[in-house]
């Protein structure tokens, strides 16, 4: 018997969750219904909670959006060509360059052969397939347009992969420059500067103030480096624990959105992702409230997530999405304005895609502008530190040469 985790509704419509043992998904689902529980999510739990957290972390590190997009595109192409779902899944699983995705698709194929719907088989592997993937597949299965739903999913995932690749490429040079510069500074202050300052002290001459400052700094780092490292580690641990609390997460996320250089960029990227996700779900036939809930879960910033949650409540009470977004006063005003135009014209999905395109373009411009400012600042900082060390070393040498002259 296997252990299954479930989420569902009881006879009074209340949400319940728990674990149950059974020999198969279908029998477990039937067993839950006999107990008066109607499962909405059901997946096998094959490892203890702690091990599952570590395995989920490992899977998230291995998962590649580009690889998932490629597999989705291949699956959609094979289904459009008339192949059965079982054959298409097996073909994509064999051809996948990512071993993780290949193994998962093979397991999904086995469940489909046993008679389970595709979206239900995918739901057992949420560490690979996000909620937007599962829900769009479910809508495609119910409407008989699974190949079209997979095509939209492939487009969405490829766009996400391109955006992530652009950001990583833009940040590669500053990160590499920071690592190299930090390595040079560490080498100077650990191996070079201490020997030279020791030699200058042995000369028993009046040293200029830059040299005295450098000597004091090197002595401080040599004597108390362990304390500085301990303070840094403790500070990071305390910050991480504070971030895990609800108030701490909200406070830090609000500070990130208000940060001088990165705040605006983070807001543009989050708004673009929210708009494209919501538009893709609505275009695939997912109901508005469900689409909003899925899009909310994809937001990493808790302030923005709570704003969408408030908007969901207002829409449930009969309000428009545009008015709800406007009242949150968190997203850029353009999102609410374009959403209002889309609701009035009946083309909300198209307007959301336009918002996403606009903010993706602005994000690229913001990244370019930020890097054009960040790179000279980094060069100026590291050059200033190295220049100060060189000046502090050369000044007493010049004084000594003039004295001998």
Same structural domain, 183 and 331:
yes
Same structural domain, 75 and 133:
yes
Q: What is the structure's pLDDT at 60?
A: 43
Same structural domain, 260 and 316:
yes
Along the 405 residues of the chain, how does pLDDT read in single tens digits? 456 777 777 777 677 777 776 656 666 777 777 777 877 777 765 444 434 443 443 344 334 678 888 888 899 899 888 888 889 988 988 887 777 788 888 888 888 888 888 888 888 888 788 888 888 888 888 888 888 888 888 888 888 888 888 777 777 877 888 888 788 777 877 777 778 777 777 776 777 888 888 888 888 877 888 898 899 999 999 999 988 888 888 899 999 888 887 888 889 989 998 999 899 888 888 889 988 988 888 888 899 999 999 999 999 988 899 999 999 889 998 999 999 999 998 889 999 999 999 998 888 888 888 877 877 888 888 888 888 888 888 888 787 777 555
Tell whether 167 is covered by a domain.
no
Tell whether 166 is covered by a domain.
no
R_g of the chain, CA atoms, integer Å: 29
Longest dimension (CA), the chain: 102
Same structural domain, 21 and 118:
no
**How far is residue 98 CA from its own chain's centroid?**
20
Tell whether 85 is covered by a domain.
yes
Same structural domain, 375 and 279:
yes
Tell whether 86 is covered by a domain.
yes
Tell whether 56 is covered by a domain.
no
Q: CA–CA separation, 291 vs 131, rounded Å?
A: 10
Number of H helices, E strands in the chain: 17, 3
Q: CA–CA separation, 380 vs 368, rounded Å?
A: 19
Among 159, 182, 205, which residue terminates a domain? 159
Beta strands in 296-354 (DSSP E): none
Same structural domain, 218 and 319:
yes
Own/partner pairs for 319-324, CB < 8 Å, 24+ apart?
321/288, 321/292, 321/348
Domains contained in the chain, number? 3
Tell whether 55 is covered by a domain.
no
Tell whether 51 is covered by a domain.
no
Same structural domain, 319 and 283:
yes
CATH of the domain at 388: 1.20.81.30
Q: Which residues have C-beta within 8 Å of that of residue 330, sequence separation ≥ 6?
A: 257, 303, 304, 307
Among 159, 190, 214, which residue terminates a domain? 159
Same structural domain, 220 and 272:
yes
Whether the model clears a pTM of 0.75, i.e. scores above it, the answer is no
The count of residues in the chain is 405
* Pairing label, strands 15-22, 2-9: antiparallel
DSSP string, 6-22: EEEE-TTS-EEEEEEEE
Same structural domain, 116 and 42:
no
Same structural domain, 234 and 128:
no
Q: CA–CA separation, 211 vs 382, rounded Å?
A: 18
Same structural domain, 40 and 94:
no
Question: Are residues 123 and 135 in contact, defined by beta-carbon separation less than 8 angstroms?
Answer: no
Domain range for 35 is: 2-46
Same structural domain, 231 and 377:
yes
């Amino acid at each position: 018997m296997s252990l299954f985790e479930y989420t569902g509704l009881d006879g009074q419509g209340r949400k319940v969750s728990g674990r149950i043992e059974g020999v198969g998904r279908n029998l477990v689902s039937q067993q839950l219904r006999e107990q008066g529980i109607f499962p909405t999510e059901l997946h096998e739990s094959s490892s203890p909670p702690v091990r599952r957290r570590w395995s989920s972390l490992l899977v998230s590190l291995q998962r590649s959006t580009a690889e998932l997009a490629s597999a989705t595109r291949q699956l959609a192409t094979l289904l459009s060509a008339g192949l059965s779902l079982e054959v298409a899944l097996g073909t994509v699983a064999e051809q996948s360059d990512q071993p993780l995705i290949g193994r998962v698709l093979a397991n999904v194929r086995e469940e489909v052969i046993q008679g389970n719907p595709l979206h239900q088989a995918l739901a057992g592997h949420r560490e690979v397939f996000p909620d937007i993937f599962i829900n769009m597949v479910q809508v495609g299965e119910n409407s008989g347009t699974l190949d079209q739903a997979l095509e939209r999913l492939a487009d969405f995932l490829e766009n996400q992969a391109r955006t992530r690749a652009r950001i990583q490429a833009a940040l590669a040079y500053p990160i590499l420059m920071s690592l190299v510069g930090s390595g040079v500074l560490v080498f100077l202050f650990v191996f070079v500067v201490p020997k030279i300052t020791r030699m200058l002290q042995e000369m028993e001459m009046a040293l200029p103030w830059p040299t005295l400052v450098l000597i004091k700094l090197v002595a401080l780092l040599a004597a108390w480096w362990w304390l500085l490292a301990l303070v840094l580690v403790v500070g990071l641990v305390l910050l991480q624990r504070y971030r895990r609390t609800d108030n701490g997460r909200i406070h830090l996320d609000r500070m990130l959105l208000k940060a001088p250089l990165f705040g605006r960029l983070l807001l543009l990227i989050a708004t673009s992702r929210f708009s494209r996700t919501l538009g893709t779900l609505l275009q695939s036939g997912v109901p508005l409230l469900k689409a909003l809930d899925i899009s909310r879960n994809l937001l990493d910033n808790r302030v923005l997530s709570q704003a969408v949650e408030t908007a969901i409540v207002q829409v449930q009470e009969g309000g428009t999405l545009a008015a709800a977004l406007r009242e949150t006063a968190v997203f850029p005003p353009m999102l609410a304005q374009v959403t209002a135009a889309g609701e009035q014209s009946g083309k909300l999905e198209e307007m959301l895609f336009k918002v996403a395109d606009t903010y993706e373009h602005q994000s690229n411009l913001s990244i370019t502008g930020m890097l054009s400012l960040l790179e000279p600042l980094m060069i100026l900082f590291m050059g200033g530190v190295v220049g100060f060390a060189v000046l502090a070393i050369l000044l007493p040498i010049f004084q000594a040469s003039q004295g001998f002259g």
